[in-house]
Structure 1
């Protein structure tokens, strides 16, 4: 997932990343093909070139070679609300067919089965970034109708996001451990565009509660190269904090 995410980050893009897989993807992209990508963290570290993985979005290690060490006012205010964030990485407990995300509750909002961590800056990112990449493990419980929309994607599909006055093109990709999806340009429904090596269509479908657009012919995701794996394992996460 980290390698697939890294490949999708263009050189020169301004990317707002959280901890976990988004950091792996962004650091790997910088070391491979996007040395001029500018990584912004919610805690306020801007244009970082950190040598080590952070444990949080405010980890002092993110200050290394940063162009600015600021706070939420700059990251979510001046940059995100100012329209300078090209890509925001997101995840959630539930993802629906239009890329809407739930990280608030499972079940009824007033009487939830589980109360989750909530939005944090996710709603801001989903609403204001020029585009978003969703990165998550492919599980049936995740690919489910959202019990609550914490972070808006394409809302009800079509031009509903535009009519709601939300900025940017919304979710652009869903990256999982089974496949990569984009969104149909008109309906805005999730569409499988590549299957990872060894994965079949049925593997994707049995791990979802809703059915994505499944073209007859789907490309196979390019397998990780030796260089990508070496840099990921030896330079990005040598202590196996996320890779295990």
Structure 2
């Protein structure tokens, strides 16, 4: 409970799945965590309660991403939470851009409105969240963006989604160069097939097919990704920046 003692973190999309596991991991390492949610306040409150029961510190903050004023709404909540639960200083040491939506439509069925929403939530919001956090991020901070293995493996049902995740990877590459003088690292983590509450994970035959794509012959668990994020948030990862970390369980190995 000392690696991230005194640190503060914001994890977007933290009411479930990878985001929830990441919030729990960072809080377990000692950080005060802002648990962001888009719509499910009850789920976020449950995450906060679990963290506190385990001896950690967290607070929930709600904001729908991908709409006008989203970043302002989110950071108003984050600032208020840090002021209330923090140590008297409004600062953010760690930003995890995890929130995202998938497309799930063939290219010919992807309309402009759906495309614009994917871009707004998955690419635009992370860009402006980074922009907004930099004035309150101390030197030596951490920005970790959740990308996808679909930037390396084709899935025609998710072309637009994959495009937005490729954009997220560019945030890491170029911001890493820009923020290097401040000792702030910026990296991308790419999950593969990870258990996320989708009904398909309750079908044994489907799980077996998905598991076969991994070198370990299993599907990923949210904690598998959260542990990678936890490492990148730590001081041990101080020499890693602008990187793409394959966290697909060997799915990209072919």
User: TM above 0.5, one fold?
Assistant: no
TM score, norm. by length of structure 1: 0.40
- Structure having the higher strand fraction is 1
Higher helix proportion: 2
